[in-house]
Amino acid sequence: MDAAVPTVLIVEDDESTGEAIAFHLARAGLQPQVARDGLAGLTALRRELPDVLVLDLMLPHLDGWYLIREVREWAPELPIIVVTARTNEHDRVEVLALGADDVMAKPFSMRELLARVNAALRRRAAQSAETAREAVALEELIIDPELLAASVAGRPAALTPPAES
């Protein structure tokens, strides 16, 4: 998969819904992958984390609630957008409390889903940029990309640009 193109895993057991979501995401320049049940979705997530997860709740084998709990254990930053026919307030609140980032009731607008996926990608990019600026420590070596500085055992280390070839 091309690292420059954001990936979206769609876990949806309804074939026409899953294919429609994938079609619209691909048309928008994203790289969708569809899993038809909870177990296939979990396998795909463990194989390679996508940039965004679009998840149905009522799935064969493993339901969406289980997947949210499982994924939050080892991928707490992964944006999860739930699309569900379960539209009562209790279910929406429960899904958000488990760790989903967003919930959409079926039927939904593909334009709105795409807008929510893009918003999740922007938030994730902003979080990644913030994390990239944090200092890195390895034993006595500390590198601070924000300050463009390094130190060893508490003393500043001289940094030089790489030699030109």
Whether 50 and 33 have beta carbons less than 8 Å apart is answered as yes
- Residue 86 located in a structural domain: yes
Q: Is the pLDDT of residue 164 over 70?
A: no
Q: Which residues contact 133 (CB under 8 A, 6 or more apart)?
A: 145, 146
Do 118 and 106 reside in the same domain of the chain? yes
Which tokens is 3 given? 């690292």
Q: Give residue 61's region: left, alpha or beta (phi > 0; psi -120 to 50).
A: left
Which runs of consecutive H residues, i.e. helices, occur in the chain?
Answer: 15-27, 38-47, 64-74, 89-98, 110-132
> What integer pLDDT is reported at residue 1 of this predicted model?
46
Lowest mean pLDDT among 63-67, 104-108, 148-152: 148-152
Do 126 and 139 reside in the same domain of the chain? no
Number of domains observed in the structure of the chain:
2
Do 45 and 93 reside in the same domain of the chain? yes
pTM exceeds cut of 0.75: yes
Q: What is the largest CA-CA distance in the chain?
A: 64
The residue segments making up the domain with residue 17 are 7-132
Whether 63 and 19 have beta carbons less than 8 Å apart is answered as no
Query: pLDDT tens digit string along 71-111?
Result: 999 999 999 999 999 889 999 999 999 999 999 999 999 99
By DSSP bridging, strand 7-11 and strand 52-55 are parallel
Choose between 89 and 160: higher pLDDT.
89
Sign of the dihedral defined by the CA atoms of residues 128, 132, 134, 139, in that order? positive
Average pLDDT rounded to a whole number, residues 36-51: 96
Query: pLDDT tens digit string along 123-135?
Result: 888 776 655 567 7
